[in-house]
Amino acid sequence: MAGDGRKEWLGLGEARSELKVYGDLGGPAGLPIVGNIFQVRLETLHRTLEDWADRHGPLYRVRFGTIRMVVVSDPETIRRIHRERPGRFRRTRGLELVAAEMGLKGVFVAEGDDWLRQRKMVVMALNTAHLKSFFEKLVVIAGRLRRRWERAADRGEPVDLGRDLMRFTVDVTAWLALGVDFNTLETRGPVIQQNLDKVFPALHRRINAPFPYWRYFRLAEDRELDRALGEVRKQVDEIIGEARARLRADPERRAAPANFLEAIIAAQEVKGADFSDADIFANVCTLLLAGEDTTANTIAWTIDYFLQHPEHFARARSEADAVLAPATSIDRFEQTGRLPFLDAFFHEAMRLKPVAPIASLQPTEDTEILGCAIPKSTIIMALNRRIATRDENFGDAARFDPERWLVDDAERICPHDTGAFLPFGAGPRFCPGRNLAMLQIRTVLAMLCRNFDVERAEPGRAFEERLAFTMMPTNPRVRMKRRNATER
C-alpha cells in the first residue's frame, strides 16, 4: 500500500504521479504500532476528529493500530463520496462483518444488488402515502406520550427523555412497519427497547476495536449483548410468524400488503425476489434500530435548545397554539406543514447536534481525494457535522439561530449552504426514514409546547454529547409541568 511517500500510484497510472499519497498527509503524531488509538475516546471520537481537522485541514490521516484512515471535511468531497454509492464507495466492511455476526445485515449495511432490493422495499414502506394513512395511529401514540408526561408532572417525577422518546419511536416504527402496537409507553416491566439499547453501543465499540477479541472470548458486555439479541430474536420471530399466518389465512393480502413486514414476506414468496429469512429478520431489526435512537435523540437535543432559549420556546408555543387550538396535540396531517418556526428550530438543532456527526465509508476502487491518491478500502471518515458548523457554509455558524432557516434566499447576506447540512446523509443511500422522522419530531414538539412547561431536572447542567454509533445526550432528564390551562 502506498504509505511510503511513493508518488506513483499504480491504481491511477503515471498520469497522476503528481498526486500526494497517504504518507504525505498531515495528521496527529501517533505512537509506533498503536498509532493514534490512545489519543481518542470512543464516546468523544467525533469531537477529537473535528478538533484535529482544525489543525490538520480538510484531509488528514489517522491510524488506529493497523487500520489507516483518512478524515475528510470538505463539503464537495463529502457530497461526492455520498453520491457515488453504491458503486465507488460503500459503508465499511468492518460494519458489515460486525452487523452480520449479530444477524443484522439489513438495508443499512447491505451493498450492491442486495442493498438495492432491500432499499426498494424500505422506501416503499416509508413513503408519504403510507405516512398519511398511518397518521391517525401516530396521533394515538403521541397521546400516550402526553399522558405519560402528565403522570410524571403530577407526581413531580423527572422524565428521562432518552427512555421515553425511545419508547415513542419504537412504538411508532413497529406499528407502521410491522403492524404491531407494542404500546411500550404504557407498559410496565421489560420492553424491547431495553434490549435494542445494547446494539448501537456494541456496534460502535466493535467497529472501532483494533482487534476483534469477541471472536475469541466474551467479556461481560458481550454476554449481555448476546442475551439482549436473543430476546430480540425471540420477539421478532414471533412477530414474523404472526404476519406469515395472516398472509396464509388471507392470501389476497399478498397483492396489497398492509406494511413493510407483510410486503417483504410476500416478496419472499414471489419467484425471483429472493429475501431469505435472515434478510427479513435483519431488516425488521434495522428499521426498529434505525428509527429509534436517531429520532429520539434528535428530539432530546431539540428540547435541550428549548431549555437554553426560552424566547424561542415561547415563539414555538405561540405558533403551535395558533395552529392547533383548541386541540392539545396535532390531530390532522395538514397541520404538520403549518409550523414553520418549529421546523426552523429543529433544523437548527440538527445542524449543531446531528445524531450522525460522522459517516464512515470505504472506496471500492482506488480513488483520489483532494489531490491525494486513496487506495481502495482505505477507511474514510467524513465529518458531516463539521461542515455544517463552519462560517463559510453557515454565517456565524456557532450561533444557534433558527431564523437563518426562515430568511428568504433573495434577501440573504450570510452564507447558508444547505449542501453542507447532511443530518440525514446524502445521495442514493440518504435516510429513507427522513419524512417519518420529521413527522414524529413535529408531532412530539408541538404536543410539548401546547401542554407543558419544561425545565432541567438538574438545573444548570446542559446535556453533553456521547457517541455510541449515534450521538446522544448524556443524562437528558427534565421536569415537565402541566401548562396553566387558562393560557391555552
- The binding site for ligand HEM (CB under 6 A) comprises 82, 107-108, 119, 122, 173, 286-287, 290-291, 294-295, 298, 355-356, 359, 423-427, 429-433, 436-437
Query: Is the peptide bond preceding residue 210 cis, with omega within 30 degrees of 0?
Result: no
Cβ proximity to ligand HEM: between 22 and 421 the closer is 421
Residue type, 298: T
CB of 359 to ligand HEM, least distance (A): 6
CB of 110 to ligand HEM, least distance (A): 8
Asked if residue 440 lies in contact with residue 271, where contact means CB atoms within 8 angstroms, the answer is: no
Query: Is the peptide bond preceding residue 363 cis, with omega within 30 degrees of 0?
Result: no
Contacts 24+ apart (CB under 8 A), 218-222: none
Residue type, 381: M
CB of 166 to ligand HEM, least distance (A): 12
Distance CA 430, CA 122 (A): 12
Cβ proximity to ligand HEM: between 265 and 282 the closer is 282
Distance CA 158, CA 149 (A): 9
Of 398, 437, 451, 364, give the one whose Cα is nearest residue 86: 364
Cβ proximity to ligand HEM: between 184 and 294 the closer is 294
Cβ proximity to ligand HEM: between 273 and 322 the closer is 273
Cβ proximity to ligand HEM: between 117 and 254 the closer is 117
CB of 55 to ligand HEM, least distance (A): 26
Cβ proximity to ligand HEM: between 350 and 478 the closer is 350
Contacts 24+ apart (CB under 8 A), 132-137: 132/333, 134/175, 134/176, 135/333, 135/439, 137/175, 137/176, 137/181
Q: What's the start-to-end Cα distance of the chain, in Å?
A: 66
Cβ proximity to ligand HEM: between 9 and 346 the closer is 346
Asked if residue 411 lies in contact with residue 403, where contact means CB atoms within 8 angstroms, the answer is: no
Cβ proximity to ligand HEM: between 102 and 152 the closer is 102
Cβ proximity to ligand HEM: between 38 and 430 the closer is 430
Distance CA 306, CA 299 (A): 11
Q: Please, what's the b/e burial string for 334-355 (b: 16 or more CB within 10 A of its CB; e: otherwise)?
A: ebbebbebbbbbbbbbbbbbbb
Interhelix angle 434-451/340-352, nearest 10 degrees: 110
CB of 431 to ligand HEM, least distance (A): 3
CB of 213 to ligand HEM, least distance (A): 28
Of 262, 119, 92, give the one whose Cα is nearest residue 177: 262
Distance CA 94, CA 208 (A): 9
CB of 413 to ligand HEM, least distance (A): 29
CB of 89 to ligand HEM, least distance (A): 10
CB of 115 to ligand HEM, least distance (A): 6
CB of 347 to ligand HEM, least distance (A): 11
Cβ proximity to ligand HEM: between 198 and 429 the closer is 429
List beta partners, residue 478.
159, 456
| CB half-sphere exposure, 47, CA atoms < 13 A | 12
